[in-house]
A and B are shown apart, each in its own frame.
Chain A
Amino acid sequence: MSNVAENPTLEVVPEEEVMSKEDVLNFLIATGVNNCNRSYENPHKEMRNLFINMSLSEIAPTWDHLDDAVKVAVINAHIDEFKTWVNNG
């Protein structure tokens, strides 16, 4: 008889998710932008602007962790690319 059958109360514990270095970095970058977006300080505003004007392929990996306000700002900054993509699609 297996151990599980002997101990019906045993639970299957899900294996802990291990984050890759890239995942951690992307989260940190997104956290940094989100924070700069909420800040009133000029250097932070500048960093936020530099980020939203980066190429979309550079921004994409951080997308899931960005605040909605930052996502909207990214779309506005790249509106022509989005329009082209939608029209071609």
Chain B
Amino acid sequence: MSLTSKQIKEKLASKGLSEIFHRYRTNDTVEKMRKATISHPDILSNHYNAIDNHTSLNEVFKSASQYEIDLYTIPFWKTKIDEMTKKVKDSARELFYGNADYIISAARMVPGFDWKGLFEVVAPYQNDVNYMRHSYSSIAREYSKTNSSAFKDYVNENIFYTKEKKPAYPVRGLMYSLFVKQGFLTKKTARKIRSDGSEDASMSGLRALTEDLDLYSNSDELLLQFTDSKYEQVIGHLADNLPEHLLPSIMGTEFYWPKRKLEKRLERIEREKIEKRRLAEQETSLFDEVVKVVCGQP
């Protein structure tokens, strides 16, 4: 091999670059070099091939986040980020399995990024599996926040009102939760969540509702849709979280633990009422004493 010294150095620099962005090679010097390299796009532009793979790019974006470097403000990286967020189809599988998380980080850096495309690319991988991938939930969350009307249509068409097979229960649970947190829940969709074939999915929807009750002016009506649920977890959650005036709606439950929870909650409410009454009486008698002293009465 006959190479000029410039070519030898270029090749070795590429090798060095791939080394410092290797997943398992981190120490203080490497960290320092990572930061320096990310900030020198003129070096990267000549050796980008050395890190143009999922593992290295994951490390690049991890370091950028660690050092609070907004790559999108660096013109070199802006071009790369725009490219990588447009070509997501090629990396869909890797993205879903968590091997290309940098694409999510990159998308977060793009102002006004449309998450719909990314979501549609990973959804087919997630829809039929009974475990939730972090990549899917992150993308779905961003999608629901940034393009809520499209997200609402997606959930309505693919889960609530579909005639075809629904996605697996972890997807339904997440979709219910995000749907509720966007304030889209209606009496009808609440009823559908209550009737879901999965206890976990039903619980996710209810939990989101109890966490974000303020979003709904008809919260009582929505909560009452769940009170005849066939799931023990759901009734137990209601026993802990229903407003006091709605507690009678689950008093007839036959589930053992929710019943105990309900009893304890009612006892606690009663205790608090007695305590409040006692304090009020103490305040009144103290006030009477003060009045007597001020007026000089014996």
Can you list 10 pairs linking A and B with CB atoms under 8 Å apart?
Answer: A21-B42, A21-B43, A24-B40, A28-B37, A28-B47, A31-B20, A32-B11, A33-B12, A51-B8, A58-B9
Closest to B1 in A: A46
Which residues from B are CB-within-8-Å of A2? none
Interface of A is mostly: helix
Which residues from A are CB-within-8-Å of B43? 21, 24-25, 28
Q: Tell me how far the C-beta of A60 lies from the nearest C-beta in chain B, rounded to whole angstroms.
A: 12
Chain B CB within 8 A of A54 CB: yes
Query: Per-position contact with B for A38-75: 1 when CB-CB < 8 Å, else 0?
Result: 00000010110011001100100000000000000000
Q: A25-B13, A31-B33 are in contact. List 13 more A-B contacts (CB 8 A).
A: A19-B32, A21-B42, A28-B16, A28-B47, A32-B13, A32-B14, A32-B17, A35-B15, A36-B15, A47-B12, A47-B15, A55-B5, A58-B5
Q: Tell me how far the C-beta of B116 lies from the nearest C-beta in chain A, rounded to whole angstroms.
A: 39
Complex Cα spacing A47 to B221, Å: 73
Chain A CB within 8 A of B3 CB: yes
Closest to A44 in B: B15
B9, B16, B36: the one within 8 Å of A35 (CB): B16
Q: Would you call A36 and B12 a contact (CB within 8 A)? A: yes
Which residues from A are CB-within-8-Å of B200? none
Closest 6 CB pairs of A and B: A32-B12, A28-B16, A32-B15, A31-B16, A32-B16, A28-B13
Which residues from A are CB-within-8-Å of B33? 24, 27-28, 31
Chain A CB within 8 A of B232 CB: no
Which residues from B are CB-within-8-Å of A36? 12, 15
Chain B CB within 8 A of A29 CB: yes
Which residues from A are CB-within-8-Å of B11? 32, 47
Q: Would you call A24 and B36 a contact (CB within 8 A)? A: yes
Interface residues in A1-41 (C-beta closer than 8 Å to B): 19, 21, 23-25, 27-33, 35-36
Count B-side interface residues using an 8 Å CB cutoff: 22
Complex Cα spacing A47 to B12, Å: 8
Taking A24-B33, A28-B43, A32-B15 as contacts, is the C-beta distance between A47 and B20 under 8 angstroms?
A: no
Q: Would you call A47 and B8 a contact (CB within 8 A)? A: yes
Complex Cα spacing A27 to B287, Å: 80
Which residues from B are CB-within-8-Å of A58? 5, 9
Q: Tell me how far the C-beta of A2 lies from the nearest C-beta in chain B, rounded to whole angstroms.
A: 30
Q: Tell me how far the C-beta of B245 lies from the nearest C-beta in chain A, rounded to whole angstroms.
A: 54
Which residues from A are CB-within-8-Å of B31? none
Complex Cα spacing A30 to B15, Å: 10
Q: Tell me how far the C-beta of A70 lies from the nearest C-beta in chain B, rounded to whole angstroms.
A: 11
Complex Cα spacing A21 to B47, Å: 13
Chain A CB within 8 A of B94 CB: no
Chain A CB within 8 A of B114 CB: no
Q: Which of B8, B11, B16, B47 has the most CB of A within 10 A?
A: B16
